[in-house]
Structures are given as structure tokens and as C-alpha cells.
Structure 1
Amino acid sequence: MAGGITDQAPVRTRFAPSPTGLLHLGHAFSALTAQHLATPGQFLLRIEDIDRTRCRPEYETAIYDDLHWLGLDWPVPVMRQSDRMGAYRDALEQLEKLGVLYPCRCRRGDIRAALSAPQEGVEGPDGLIYPGTCRNRPMSAAGPDDVIRLNSAAAFDNLGIDEVSFTETSGSGNTPNTLTQKQFMNSVGDVALARRGMGTSYHLAVAVDDAAQDITKVVRGKDLFDSTWIHVLLQKLLKLPAPLYHHHDLIRDDSGKRLAKRDDARSLRQLRDAGASADGIRHSLGIS
């Protein structure tokens, strides 16, 4: 079903970690927030394991253990992105038929070298804003080492629109957010939809999977707010439902630095081993 999802629809949220390290307090806050906002709907778990070079089975096992320890539960079997490569290929084929893809042979060094003032150093949700070096290459020229990019200008033209929008939810109500085509090109650009050695990308996979799981409210950190513009544009191109969004605050350490998986001292496993309780973690995060 295409179109938007209203607050009156049964709420389905998801927590979608990558098994590339141990979960930390930031993950706990996101998962617990997603569960809280799903009440009395449904909370789902998804394993985002498309980066096979970094994902480890022991980290996936730890995800299940830590979330159960926090008191979370979810329907099984759990969706795993590594099992869904066919769905991503189908989505890429749809986009290719629309004429909004092109193969890119540029490496990061090539992109940095091609950028010039005033663009130099400007980063979007997908890294440095791609300067469009390969934009005129046809898909028939794609090689096994090419990245497949979204031609953003062609995507807007195909849809006949000059802006994209989504609805952000909070305790104070719903807030519409809008980005024009020009703003999209300047702050997002031609993002990668299939990366070397993966066959997909985070952006394509998350848009396809949220629709496949009937997610009505996407709950994730504010660091992913700007990525939402990409997902909304893909939803329109692929005629997928448009969920509501809730981008929550990030958990930071005492110095104000955002927690990362490399911060092992703050991993849930370390906290558990040090004697922390699940109730204590919930209380510290403000979620009872």
C-alpha cells in the first residue's frame, strides 16, 4: 500500500542493530524507547547484517541476550538483512527501470580530489557530498567494482515533485519536515544504494525492510535524522508506505561525547558484569 501512515494505525516499531559490536546504553535507550512507543502495538527486532566483513555471530547472540535481559521480547523469526538480498535486487531493478540509477567507479580519494570550494569538506548523511563525476555513465557500463548511486535530480524529475517531507512525532504532537530538491542536492546528493561487496546499502535496505515489516513509526537516534530524506525519496520511488518518525536524543558520556560500540566500558555486558540491574539501567535512562 502506498501513501502515508497516520497515528490512528496500529503502531509497529522496530529496533534494528548491526552485530558489529556489543550493545551499549545508547542502544538500550533506543530499544526501550521503541518498545515504549509501540505500546499497545507491536515491537519488532531486525538484524542489520549487510556488512559481512564486520558482522560477527557472537555479537548477534549478545544482542538477543542483552535485550532479553532488559526485559524486551519480540516476534520470531527475526528478520535478518543477509537473508533479503533478493528483495534489495528487486528494488534496484525497479529503480533502474525508472532511470534514476548510475554506476560509479570513484573511490573516496577520487571524490575528495574532485571536490572544490565551496563544496570541499561538506558532508551529508552518506559522507562527502558526491560531485556527480560518474552521473552520465549508463547502467550498461556497470562493472563488478562499481557503486550504484541514486541520481537524485532524475528521481525528483521522475516523481514530478520539488520537495520531500515526513512527519516527526514527539510528546507535543506531530511536526512536518520538508526539504526542497535544491536543498536535497546540496545537503544529501547522489547517495550510494549498492556498495562494493554488499549488493545494497543501509539506505536502500532500511527503506525496503521497514515496508516489508509494516513499520508505522520508525524510532531511532537524532544522528539519523538527515538520512530520513533519502528514505522518504526511496519510498516515493518504490511506492512504499511512508511511516511516521521519532528521532530521539542521543546518550552521551560525561564529556558530552556520543557513545559508540568502541566504548566497551559502557557496553551492557560490562555493566551487567559489574552488577548493574535491568531495572537500574531503565531508571538511569528514564524509562521504567
Structure 2
Amino acid sequence: MTVKMLRFVCIGMLYLVLGCNATGTWCYEEEECDPSTWPEHFESCGGNSQSPINIVTSQVQVNPNLGPIQISSSSFPSSFVITNTGHTVEVVLSSQHVLSGAGLEDDYLLAAFHLHFGSSPFAGVGSEHVINGQAYPLEIHFVFYNTKYDNLSDAREQPDGLAVVGVHFEIGYENYVLNGLISALPEVAHKGQSTTLAIDLREMIPRSVVSYYKYQGSLTTPPCSENVSWHVIRTPAQLSQAQYEAITSLYRTESDADEQIGLVNNFRPFQPLNGRTVYKY
């Protein structure tokens, strides 16, 4: 591994401190640690600016001053580290992708991305953000941190530290952009398994988006820090049923566990808006 790649892997691994390895036990489906219990163990999870939310389009305010989302990317394919965390599949980066525009005062560097999904493409659940009460089968979150801070760990403590771009997916045609990611999934079928992934991330990340929702919220996993500028793309992407079934074939248990439990339904229910304004551009 080169020094440059090691640097970005270390930055990306800090993302795990943000959510998936937050101190304390949390989960999605077991009664004793499901999302309803998170505020008992993570104070911020009971805050007034939590995510995800139900975006009611009739209540969204147009803000023409935001401008489009701009994401500039490295000009070459790169190798990334993909890990089954037991909560999601996460990809840690080794190349630079910078978010700007969209009303942001600073540039934000992409640290990692991860997936939220249901148990079936037709279950009516999966995404974390819902639109007029409708969930999508899959939502990918691209997590960025403010470049005016030295690293992700420092940025997570700041009120303007984080920005996330959320992309919904619906069942339709095969999405070739996802094939590289999906081909690596058998190697990370169980919790704790990692492998390298060589893809051109420029094809997966939207480079310029002129149609999105924006609001201030939080991380959707513990510690639920309320310092996230959210950007939810208004037009969903597509993937095939076979691609979706490959994603939902993972396990949230380790390979030597006595009982193998599927990694599905890893979404937090939407949270109260509590007077926040959702904008669109």
C-alpha cells in the first residue's frame, strides 16, 4: 500500500468513529438496542435536529440561491477498502473527491460512503430519507468533511464539520456503475471482512446536480451528531432486482457465528422535523 493510499485509508477509517463504532451497543432490529433505544445511550440521538426525515414536497421551500451541487474528482480509477461493519457495507477512499456549491461556504472532502437498504426490493422500506412517506429500496450516503479542519476527527466536533449527499435507488434497469461494488460483495459477506475494490468512483458520484433537497440534520447512526448539512438528490437512480438481491445477501454476523443473520433493514426510521426548513434547488 502506498503512503498516499495509507493516508486516505486512515482518514476514511476515522469515519467509523463517527458512527459504526460509536461507543456503546446499538443495532437496527433487536428490541434491546434498536433505534428507539439510542437516545438512552447516546444523548445527541434524542436531539431536535435528527436525521433522516420525511421530506414532504408540498412543504419544501425553493431556494434559488443555493446553486448546483459540484463534486470534483480525481482523474483516475483508484483502489478502495470495502468493509462489512455488521451495520452496513462501507467503502473507504484513497483518492480525492471534493464537494462544493449547494450553499456551502467551504469545500468538503469525501471520506467514505455506505449503504442503507431493506430486505426485499418490494418490501416498501430500505432508504432512510423518505419522500412524502415513500421509501426507496436503497440509499447510498456519501460522507464529506469540511476541508478547513485537519481531518475528519476534528471536523466531527464542529457545527459546520460534515456534509452528506444521499442518493436513492429504485428497481429498474441494471446499473453498470454499481457492478464493481457488487462484484466485491462476496468477499465481505460477513461482519469484519474487508477487501480492496478498484473502481472509477467518478462514475458513481454525481458530478453536478441541479435538483436536490437540503436541510440541517444529524448523522443517522450513533452518536447522531447534529452537524450535518444534508443534500438528498431529488431524482432516484436505478438498479436491477438481481443487483439488489446481491446487496441483501450479506450477513451482520461473523463467518464463524453459530447463527448467521442477514444484514438487512439497516435504516433508522425518519425523525421529527421540529420546525426545520427543507429547501430545494
Q: TM class by shorter-chain length?
A: under 0.3
When normalised by structure 1's length, the TM-score is 0.25
Higher helix share: 1
Structure whose CA Rg is larger: 1
Higher strand share: 2
